[in-house]
Amino acid sequence: MKKDNDLNKELLEYENLEKQLEVVLIQKHQLQLQLNEIKHAMDELKKTHGEVYRSTGSIMVKSNREEADKDLKDRKELIEMRLAGLAKSEEKMRTTVVEAQKSLQQRMKVLPEDFKKFLKNNSGKKFAVACHSKPDVDAVASAFAISRLFPGSVIVTPDEMNKGATLLCEKLNIKTQLIKKITRASFDGLIVTDVSNYTLLPEAREWHVVAVFDHHQAEGRDMKADNYFVDSGSPSTAELIATLLENKFDSDVAFALCCAIIADGARFKSARVNTFATLARLMEIAGGSYSEMLGYAEPEFDSDVKIAVLKAMQRVKFVYSAGYVVATSEVGMSESDSASLISEAADVAFVANWKDAEKETRISARARKNVIVPLHEVMAAVAKEVGGAGGGHAKAAGASLKCHSDVALAKCVEVFVRKAEGI
């Protein structure tokens, strides 16, 4: 347990370093915007033949071309100097972050031994292996792989799976049950995959959680467990589990894990060397083709989903602020698919779904690669301000908020812009 605390401390320190780097990147982004404005003004000045005004504070004063030109050049020089300074600190900080990452990875290497110990200590036991709410391919494939290690175990979900997960379960004959329908006394405890907070699996509060396998960021992690196998640097829980299992799985488990790695990596946007190596190794055992796996990772949308996504697109509102195109929309279902597709065009998309029964708004947030502000932080901050819970990943995050969708969306944009401006 003490070691877990040490590791958690190092993880938090690492995340802190990442935050500091992020502040520098935000400052750079701001200065770059100012520089673009000055360059634009210089171009305009070259073209104009009429009178020239210069703004100081909130007033405009009459000026002449030479004075205005000199003023712009001075400002440009100053900003370029500050940018050069920031570039230097960025380089330094990147080195520190990479070193911290290496040291953390070194610590993570302890995991296989811990995992073996965990298997040994629990051999012969029967567990319920649980996924998060609306289980996706990563959650189900991870639960499937873990359940196979403990014969007699069952896979449980709090609610209905998404389409990819449903198709995968049909193909591999994976049986799942609702967590509410099983009796706790028949099992030696709960193992949780692809989640480590109670918001996305409230039922876990009633259970003794033996282990958590997850790859989400530390923010909002509140699940109490005997063992944590958590790597926030892993693009999927499946990749983490495949690495721990080495080669101890059959072709069905390998196939499921392949689909999960392809699904969660969003077409390898967040892939690392280990992702490709693991996928190649798994594919050989699974024996399926990549395009077949892609069919489970990214299944064709049902017509009602297509309609929902198009409605979300019709309702898009957007602002251009702090150098980013920020889009918002509202929809009655499929908010995460909508957010993904809207963010193909915008830099950031927040899509809301008001759940009348729960009296809360579900938000799905997606960002493009160029966005520096981590969305899981935006979601956590918004939840703190309006009530609810939020978290996830830097480019894909979500929240359940205790307010109406219009208030929720306005807050998302406000917090995002505030963070992008470094305020």
Q: How far is the CB of 72 from Mn ion (least distance, A)?
A: 49
Which candidate, 337, 338, 321, places its Cα nearest to that of 329? Answer: 338
Q: Which stretch binds Mn ion (CB under 5 A): 84-92, 120-128, 237-245, 384-392?
A: 237-245
Q: Does 194 bind Mn ion (CB under 5 A)?
A: yes
Q: Specify the residue, 265 or 295, whose C-beta has the smaller distance to Mn ion.
A: 265
Q: Does 219 bind Mn ion (CB under 5 A)?
A: no
Q: How far is the CB of 100 from Mn ion (least distance, A)?
A: 24
Binding letters toward Mn ion, positions 144-183, x by CB under 5 A:
----------------------------------------
Q: Does 264 bind Mn ion (CB under 5 A)?
A: yes
Q: Does 239 bind Mn ion (CB under 5 A)?
A: no
Q: How far is the CB of 303 from Mn ion (least distance, A)?
A: 27
Q: How far is the CB of 103 from Mn ion (least distance, A)?
A: 25
Q: Does 214 bind Mn ion (CB under 5 A)?
A: no
Q: Which class for 90: exposed (0-12), middle (13-18), buried (19 or more C-beta within 10 A)? A: middle
Which candidate, 25, 43, 31, places its Cα nearest to that of 81? Answer: 31
Q: Specify the residue, 194 or 231, whose C-beta has the smaller distance to Mn ion.
A: 194
Supply 95's token pair. 């080195």
Q: How far is the CB of 147 from Mn ion (least distance, A)?
A: 17
Q: Which stretch binds Mn ion (CB under 5 A): 79-87, 261-269, 318-326, 398-406?
A: 261-269
Q: Specify the residue, 214 or 360, whose C-beta has the smaller distance to Mn ion.
A: 214
Q: Specify the residue, 199 or 328, whose C-beta has the smaller distance to Mn ion.
A: 199
**How far apart, in whole angstroms, are the C-alpha atoms of residue 51 and residue 324?**
33
The half-sphere exposure of 198 on its side-chain side, counting CA atoms within 13 A, is: 13
Q: Specify the residue, 264 or 347, whose C-beta has the smaller distance to Mn ion.
A: 264
Q: Does 377 bind Mn ion (CB under 5 A)?
A: no
**How far apart, in whole angstroms, are the C-alpha atoms of residue 143 and residue 237?**
10
Please name every residue paired with 328 in a beta bridge, in sequence order, or none if there are none: 317, 350
Q: How far is the CB of 24 from Mn ion (least distance, A)?
A: 29
Q: Specify the residue, 216 or 419, whose C-beta has the smaller distance to Mn ion.
A: 216
Whether 346 contacts 375, CB under 8 Å:
no
Q: Which stretch binds Mn ion (CB under 5 A): 19-27, 89-97, 114-122, 187-195?
A: 187-195
Q: Specify the residue, 258 or 326, whose C-beta has the smaller distance to Mn ion.
A: 258
Strand pairing category for 360-367 and 154-157: unpaired
Q: Specify the residue, 165 or 383, whose C-beta has the smaller distance to Mn ion.
A: 165
**CB closest to Mn ion, residue no:** 138
Q: Which stretch binds Mn ion (CB under 5 A): 85-93, 197-205, 232-240, 383-391?
A: 232-240
Q: Does 138 bind Mn ion (CB under 5 A)?
A: yes
Tell me, by CB under 5 A, how many residues bind Mn ion.
Answer: 4
Supply the DSSP string of 55-87, one letter for each residue: EETTEEEEE-HHHHHHHHHHHHHHHHHHHHHHH
Q: Specify the residue, 362 or 393, whose C-beta has the smaller distance to Mn ion.
A: 393
- Buried/exposed 211-223: b ≥16 CB within 10 Å, e otherwise: bbbbbbbebbbeb
Q: How far is the CB of 292 from Mn ion (least distance, A)?
A: 21
Q: How far is the CB of 135 from Mn ion (least distance, A)?
A: 10
Q: Which stretch binds Mn ion (CB under 5 A): 178-186, 198-206, 257-265, 350-358?
A: 257-265
**How far apart, in whole angstroms, are the C-alpha atoms of residue 374 and residue 357?**
30
Strand pairing category for 190-193 and 128-130: parallel
Supply the DSSP string of 312-381, one letter for each residue: HHHT-EEEEETTEEEEEEE-SS-HHHHHHHHTTTSSEEEEEEEETTTTEEEEEEEE-TT--S-HHHHHHH
Q: Specify the residue, 194 or 337, whose C-beta has the smaller distance to Mn ion.
A: 194
Whether 397 contacts 365, CB under 8 Å:
yes
Determine the Cα angle at 79 with ends 75 and 85, to 5°.
150
Q: Specify the residue, 194 or 335, whose C-beta has the smaller distance to Mn ion.
A: 194
**How far apart, in whole angstroms, are the C-alpha atoms of residue 235 and residue 373?**
18
Sign of CA dihedral 160, 165, 166, 169: negative
Q: How far is the CB of 401 from Mn ion (least distance, A)?
A: 22
Whether 143 contacts 132, CB under 8 Å:
no
**How far apart, in whole angstroms, are the C-alpha atoms of residue 153 and residue 155?**
7
Q: Which stretch binds Mn ion (CB under 5 A): 57-65, 134-142, 143-151, 222-230?
A: 134-142
Where on the chain is the footprint of Mn ion (CB under 5 A)? 138, 194, 237, 264
